[in-house]
Structure 1
């Protein structure tokens, strides 16, 4: 345990780095109430003290969570793991959710209609020999396939083995824990009596919500 404890600063700095690198920059679109805007402009109300401002301070990983992460990561090379965690983090952040079935059908119908409009000969025109009709229909299907391939996001599940799971811990443990902690603190700020008894941890992750 003493040897593991000596590695805590190393992993803590690595996890903290990923926490800061994965901050999400969000653009808010809102309009202040007229009286609030006037009070801010006149100096009667300071923006930093506005009741809607989010300010929960710096979130740090608790020691028991840090210890669990250190034990889980102890058998992996730190430098390689850090590099691969960065790649995994970038890939995760670039992903989009898969299309819903109805969305896919709507997009497919749109693409089919576009391809049809670009055709100079309707494959279903009377008088076409069967061989020519088949060639035109095959060409349409091919164009639809290629266009759908270009214009729709191809979602693919990530196959997590032991090493990739460790990289996920490095990439997502700190930012996920920080997000959940800030969320719960903001709820507590608005409702001082907020004291949940049950917790449903729904989704994919490392269960950092259990330590929030």
Structure 2
């Protein structure tokens, strides 16, 4: 029987970023770059933690080229061919640390992923592009299909659409990234639907509880 949650949820309209006292003299003095040490692999990433999504094919090679100039990250959509990846990597090797390759979970997707990874070993991040973050197959895919044949990567799971699903992935699947989908419309279907209304404060509490990311001790 479906569970209907009638509790109040927060959306973007409910979030207010309050100004704080600052010691900076100019906006030019602001440094948004941060260094992340991933909990499991101990690898590091340094940049501005803003990511262009692979969803709706926003994450293109052209987008990655421009965003990398600002030290921003891009998850490349999964529709590029192996040859297109090779051409991009040959011309823009300096951008590869700031991109993730996206893949579905079919046999053909996995084969293409392996071919790209073998051809471009500089790639370090994989985005598993699936529509349903509740799928048990996703966990099995990451645990067995993806990890076994491919060297150690940072894996970006699909968007988390509920608090219950967040708990599940935190407990059962220890990926380095937990990505929150903070939107209340389904752009893929081109229609409005209340898929998620995320509460920012509960997100912060859960991240602290499960040691996801690094909590800021102060704000500039």
Q: Same fold (TM over 0.5)?
A: no
By percentage of residues, which structure has more strand? 2
Higher gyration radius (CA): 1
Q: Which has the higher helix share?
A: 1
TM-score, normalised with respect to structure 1: 0.21
